Chain A
């Protein structure tokens, strides 16, 4: 794949539970981003974590980054039915400079059952 792997590919949980999605990437990065995509819609930027950061929070979202393992995780706490969506990690490939060119992971489809 262009980017790497995300696991799980699909995740189904009950409302109120936590959801954890993982992303592995293949190249060095300056930062890594997470996006959400509701079915048949565009993407919404959730959070950006820089390569010198290990953890970042935004509301019910917690993102970790382990550059030694080239992996990141997205944790959604106290999930809601409205969190049902696909989640993608993305970063800028080496040599892309400041072009803004993003490469996406394969994505995790999350279903939160009410």
Chain B
């Protein structure tokens, strides 16, 4: 089956620094990738839709200057949390869909970000 990886799985950073999270589709080309964040014991909230070769589409209330998304190739999307603050601490999950079927999404294992 289709596999999506994320790196790193866990990261701890200090307030004010930036953190980059990578999302890779390992065995398929993903024209579209999605970024979610999840607070403890809560559901996933879609942050943005990342399209290869174009600007990401952000959901209402998500600061695009704070959460920079780059989808430079068909297998890699990156999310950079800039000037991180403790309230940015969360579980970030990416997903990818294949061009042939946008109905089924494949999720990465998630990245636990802790900002101290």
> Which residues in A have some Cβ–Cβ distance to B below 8 Å?
1-3, 31, 33, 35, 40-45, 48, 88, 98-107, 109
Contacts and interface: CB of A to CB of B under 8 A. Distances in A.
Contacts of A44: 107
Interface stretch (B40-48, B63-71, B77-85): B40-48
**Residues of B contacting A: mostly:** strand
B43 A102 contact: no
Given A40-B110, A101-B49, A103-B46, A45 B105 contact: yes
Interface string B16-58: 0000000000000000101000000111111001000000000
Contacts of A109: 41
Nearest to B6: A42
Contacts, number: 62
Interface residues of B, number: 25
Contact of B93 (A3, A33, A43, A103): A43
Given A42-B108, A99-B102, A101-B46, 8 more contacts: A1-B43, A2-B46, A41-B110, A43-B93, A43-B107, A100-B49, A104-B45, A107-B43
Nearest to A101: B49
Contacts of A105: 43
A102 B112 CA distance: 21
B97 interface: yes
Contacts of B45: 2, 104
